[in-house]
Structure 1
Amino acid sequence: MASITCFLFLLASASLAKAQETRSNITLGSSLSPTANSSSWLSPSGLYAFGFYPQGQGYVVGVFLTGIPPRTVIWTANRDDPPVSAGATLLFTKDGRLILRSSQGQETSITSVAESAYSASMLDSGNFVLYRPDGSVLLESFDYPTDTLLPTQRLLAGQQIISSISATNHSTGLFRLKMQHGGNLIRYPVNTLDTAPYSYYTSWTGGTGDNVSLNFDVDGHLFLLNTTGYGDWSVVWWSTDGECDPKGLCGLNGFCVKNDQQATCQCLPGFDFVEPRNRAAGCERNFTAETCKTGDAGASYMIEAVDNTLWEDVSYSVILTNCEAALYNGGNCGKQRLSLRYGRKLVTDPTSALIKGILFLSLSLLTFGFVMMAISLVLICKNNVWTYQRIHNKIEVGLAKDQAPRLFTYAELELVTDSFKEQIGRGAFGTVYKGVIGERMVAVKRLDKRLAEGEREFQTEVEVIGRTHHRNLVRLLGYCVEGTNRLLVYEYMSNGSLASILFKSPKSRPFWEERMEIARDIARGVLYLHEECETQIIHCDIKPQNILMDENRAKISDFGLAKLLNADQTRTFTGIRGTRGYVAPEWHRNQPVTVKADVYRFRIMLLEIICCRRNMELDFPEREAILEEWVCKCFWNGEIGKLTGDEKVDKDELKAAIKVALWCILDDLTLRPTMKRVLLMMEGSAEILMPPIPSSSIFTDYGYV
C-alpha cells in the first residue's frame, strides 16, 4: 500500500539546529543536467541534494538523500509532469527564474512565485530555499511538501501531504494527510471533499484553534501544536491499523478483502485488473456492455450479487434507464452507474467464526499433539548439532572485516559462549564472556537487563557505533536484541586490560616509552570519538579497566555504552562511582556534560600510566594515598623523581607528561584543553605551557591556594 511518509534521518538530527544556519550558495546563471557531473546542488554536508534523479525512463527534479541506497526522495517539483529526457537542463537564470528546459526547448517553471530570486541554497536540513537580494526568504520547499516531512518541518493549517504512487514513482498517489483549519488532522483519499464521509482517520482534535500545525522535531516526535501547546505523539505513529480501512486501495470497480490479516484486492464479476501488478489502478470490463432498452422484451440480463461489501453510495434517479449496478443496504435500494469506488468486504460474524475456529482447532490439536510427540525427541537430539553447524558455517562469514555489526540471536550467542561458561570480565554495565566463532575468538558482553532500552533505539545506536572504525577502538562485531536481552559482540583482545598489566609487579610493567605510546594511543582513540566519527560520542568512563591491549597497541572499549544507555543512567552511574577528584566537576554542578568531561578523566588515567599505580591506594601513607594530590605536591615542590621510584625516566619527558595531566585537571572548561590539543602536546607538536595552580579545595593542605 502506498502511504504518506514522515521520514526521520537520525544520523542528521543531532546537528540540525546548526545545519539550518549553514547553507550552500547557488548563484544566478547556474545550471544542471541529468547526465553531467553537475546533476545536483549539494547541501554543505553533502547529506541532501537538489537536482535530477531518475524516474522510469527519464529524469525528475527534486530533493533527495545522497549516497544512501535505495534513493530516498524527499520532495518533487511538478510531480505529475512526465519525466524529461537526458537532454533536459535545469536553469537558475540570470533574471532569477528557476526553470526546467526540455531537450526540445520547452520551458517549465519550477516555482510558483512571480518575484525574481537573487540566490538559492540547499540546506543541511533538507530545505531548498530561494532568497531575495536582501537575504530574506522568497520561497522554500518546506512550505510546499509533497509526500514527506523532515525534522524541523511543519504541516500548517490548510496544508497537506499526498502519497506517491510507489517508491520509484513520486507522482500523486491515492492518499492525503491534511492539517485542517480548526485543529483536526485527517486522512482522506485524493480527489474527495474534506468531509467526514470520506475520512478514514482523524486526530479528533477539532476545536483547538485555526493555527494548529503538525510538527516533526529533531528527536523524532510528531505532535500537534497551537499557541497553547496542544497534542503530542511519539515518532512510532500511524493513522490506521485496519488493512482495508483506507478508501481507494483497490481502485475503481475493485474492493478490498482481508484474508489472514492481509489485504488483497478483487474485481467485480465481469471485470479484470487494469494492471495486474498495480491493483490500485482498479478494474475494467472483460466484456462488451449492453444498453438497457426500454420495451425490448427479447433482451435478457444477468444480475450477480456481491455480498457483504460496502461502496460509496451516490445513488442516481429512479427513472434512470441506463442502470449498471444497484446497491442494497438495510432495505434501501439505489441504482448506480459504473464506476463504483471505495469498495471493501465486510468482516463476517466474529462469533460464528470463533465457534468454528475453536472446533477445528480442538480436533487439529489432538491429532497434531500425537504427531509432535513422535518427532520431538528426534528434533531435540539434532537441534544442537544443526545449530552449531549453522553458526560456524554461516556466522563466521558475517564477520568480514569491513561489514557493519551483525545481528545475532540469543541462542546463537549462547552456543558461541558455551552457555556463557567462561567469564573474562565484569563491570557496572554487564558481564563479559569468552566465545569462539569458527577459529576466531570473540568477547560477548551481556548488558545488565535493567539498563536495556527499546529495540528500535538500541538497534539504531548500535548501527551508528558499528560504523566507527579506528585502530585504537575495540571493534564491535555484532549485537543481540531479543526480549530484554541486550548483548554486544566485540573482537577479543589477547592481552587483557591496561589495568591488569599496569598494576602488576614492577618487573612485568611496560617501560616508560611503551607507557607513553599507550597514552598516545588512548588519546588518539578519544579524539576520534570526539571529533572524527559520524556522530560525536562522549565516553564518560575513561579508565584503565576500559583500555584493552593486543600484541601491538591499546584500544578503547565500551566507547558506545554512553550512547546505548539512557542519559540519566550514565549520569547516575558516573556520579556514584567516582572518588574525590576523579569525576569532572560539571557532573556535581548539574551542568551540561561535554567532551571536556572525558579530558578530565583522561588526566587521572595518564597519571596512573606515569606512576604505575591506582588513583587511590589506601595502603600508602596518607599524603600519598590519593595519586592526584601526591603528583601535585611533588610537581610544585620540584620532587617529581619520587613518582617513578627506581625507574630511570628522562626528567624533561616526565615533567612534560605531568604538565599535560595538570592542564586536563582544570575546573574551568574554557581553560581545560581539547583532546586534540592534549594529543599535540603529548606528541611534541605543541608547546606545553606551565599550568595554573588548581583552584580545587583539595590542594589547600599544601598551601597552593
Structure 2
Amino acid sequence: MVAIFLFLLFTRFSAAIALQRNSTISVGSSLSPKNNLYWLSSSGQFAFGFYKKDNGFVIGIWLENIQQKTVIWTANRDDPPLPEDVKLLLSNDGRLILQQQQGEQTLVANATQSASSASMLNTGNFVLYNSDSMIIWQTFDFPTDTILPSQRLLATNKLVSSISETNHSSGNFVLVMQTDGNLVQYPASNPTGAEYAYWASGTYTAGANVTLNLGGNGQLYLLNSTGFNIKTLNGETNLNDKAFYRLTIDVGGILRLYSHSLNQGDNWVTEWSSSSNKCDPLGLCGLNSYCTLMDQELACTCPPGFDFVDQDKKILGCKRNFTDGCISKNRETFNLQELEAIAWEDNPYSITLSNKADCRVDCMSDCNCEAAVFKDQECRKQKLPLRYGRRKEGNQVGTTIIKVGIGSVSRERKKHLPISLIGSVTILGFSLIVLAITGILIYRYRIWKNKNIGNDGLIEDVTLRSYTYGELEKATNGFTDEVGKGAFGTVFKGVISNGKRVVAIKRLEKVVVEGEREFRNEMKSIGRTYHKNLVKLFGYCHDGTNRLLVYEYMSNGSLTNFLFESETKPSWEEKTRIALNVARGILYLHEECETQIIHCDIKPENILMDDHKSAKIADFGLAKLLMPNQTRTYTGGYVAPEWLRNLPITVKADVYSFGIVLLEIICGRRHLVMDLPEDEVVLENWVYDCFAVGELDKLVKDEDVEKNKLERMVRVGLWCIQDEPSFRPPMKKVVLMLEGTMEIPAPPSPTSFLSSMEVN
C-alpha cells in the first residue's frame, strides 16, 4: 500500500514538473505567487515567473539550476512590487497580462499580434508565438541590464544597471549602442551628454546598425550592417565552450563578461570588464564628494570643508560644513586647502593662465570661486556643486584648491574649552592672520614692482613683456626677414632672449589709435587667453604710433602652405587631427576663456602649423583693434552671410568660417576655383551635391579614406555653413561630432557663397 502511494505521489510530482518544463505554454495558462511561481525552460536552466522582492513579487527571468539565482531580465522593472494575489495570464485572446483581484489588468508584453502560445527557451529568451509559430514578441528585444549568448544589442538599444544586487530597478549607469556604431557608457543622469561618456568602444566611424553580440563561446564582438566583425571587445581571451556566459552592466557601472560552469556550488567568474578601476564610472558618489579605493573597495569621501549629507548613506554626497559668505567682506571666515590627484567634471566658469600661488589668491578674492583646479599652468575656477569626483593617478589631474571655513569647531565644543586655551588660540590666530596679511601685502608689492612698466602705474600680466620699438627692430635685424602679410599687418621673423627664442613679430597696420592704457588692456586680455591650439602671445610694443605683437614662431607655416602648396599632401589622419585642433581652439575662444572672443577671420592663412604639425589659431582678439572702415574687410568665401547683410555678428560667424575651412581640409582645395568644371567651382555646392547623391569618394579622389569617417566630416562641415545662424551648431557640439561621440543628422542644403554675395 505504501509503495502504491509513493508511486502515485511520484507520478503526480513528475507530471507537475513536466508541465512546468513543457516547451509550449498554451493560452489560458497562468502563474501566481501563491502556488505556480514560474515556467521552466525544457532544460530546467531558466525560469520565467515571479521572484521575491521586499514584501512583494516581480516578474522576471533567472537562472534556476545554480545556487545563485541570478536575475537576467525584469518586466516593468521600475514599478512597485506586486502583491501575492496577482495572476500572470496568457489570456484566451492572446495577451500576456497581469490580473489583480480588483479586476485591474496590466499588459506585460506589448505584442503586435495575438499570441497562440509561449515558451521559455533554453537560451534564456521568453517568447510569444502567433498561430504560424512565428515569434511576435521576445524578451531578448527588451534587455534590462544583461545580454546572453545569441542575444544582440541593437542600435539605439541600451542596458541600464540595477540599483543593487537585490533591487533590479533602473540604476545609475547606461550602456548605449549608438547609431554611429559606438558602444558607450554614460551616467544615467546624462544619458545623451557625450562629454560625460566614461567608456567607449571607439567604433564611432562604423556607421549605422552596428550590433553588440555575445557568442556561445564567450566572444564579445561588434558586427556592422553587413555582418562584418569590426571589433572583438575581449580580444583573444581563452574561453571555455562548455561554460555559460552573460554580459551585465553592474550596479557600479562597469560592463563585465561573466562565466559559470553551471555546477551548483560554483560562482560566477569575471572574464572581461570595461574598466579595472571601480572609480571610473562617473557619478558613483554624490555631489561635492569623490570616489576613491581603499583596499580595492570603493569609498566616497568628502573634500575639506564638507560633511556627508547622510553618514549612513555616503553615496548621497556632501554639503558645506560652514556658512557661505563673500570672502571680500570677511577675510577671516575662509581658508584654502589643496587636494592632489582628484579629477572633477571639467566645467569651469573662468580659465586663466597662472601659477599656483596666483591661482590661490585669485580664488580667495573671488566671491564666485568655491574651488579651483590648477593644471598645466591654468587656473580653472569652479562653482558648486562639484560633480563626478574621483581619484586618478598621473600628472594630468592637477591640484584642487578648495575654499573652507576656518571656524569649523562647533559651538558646543567651544563652551567646554578652558578660558586660557581660548585666549591662547585667539592670540595665536590673530598673530597668524596678521602674519598672513603682511605676507600677502609683501608678495603683491613685489609682483606689482616686477609688473609695473612706465609711469602710469598700469599693472601688466606676468606672462607678457612690454618691448621698445628699438628692441624689436634689433630682434628682427631691421625688419628684414618678412614671413607673412595679412589683414592686420606684416609678420617678421626675429630672435629674443639673447638669441635663445625664435619669435614671429607682427607689425600692426590700420589699427585704431588709442591710448597706451587701452592698448595694454587689450594685450592683457589676449595674454590671458591660453590654449594649446592658439598661437601664444609673448609680448607687445606700444611705442609712439608703433604697435607690434610678439608671438611664438610656427616653423611649418600656415595651413595654406600645408594644404595647397606643399608637394607632400597631408594624410587623412593629419587632416582629422588638424580639423580637431582648429575646432578646439575656437571652442576655447567662444566658451572657455575668461572673456568670450569672436575671431571674425577664421581662414587657412590664420591657422599656423608647429613643429609637430599641430594646428594653432593666430590673430585672435585683434578684430576690435581695426579701424572702423576695416571691420568688414574680411576674406571673401570665409565670411558668414550675416556679415554681408549687416546683421549682428555672433560666435556663429566663426562656426561658418570653420565650416568652409573644414571642407577645404577634407577636399584639399580652395573654396573657389574658377578653372574647374562649373559644378565644382564653388566648393560647398559641389560637396553638398556629392553628399546628396552618395558620391563622396569624388571629394578625396585617390585617398584611402573610410566612407563613414569621410561622411562624418562632410556632415559636420555642411551643418556649420548653414545660411541661418541658428541652424549652425555651437563649437562644443562641433568638437563632439568630430570626435565621434555625437550623432549627426543629415544636413539640409546650405546657401552658396555666390548667392550670398548677391545679397548686397
Is TM (by shorter chain) over 0.5? no
Give the TM-score band, short-chain normalised: 0.3 to 0.5
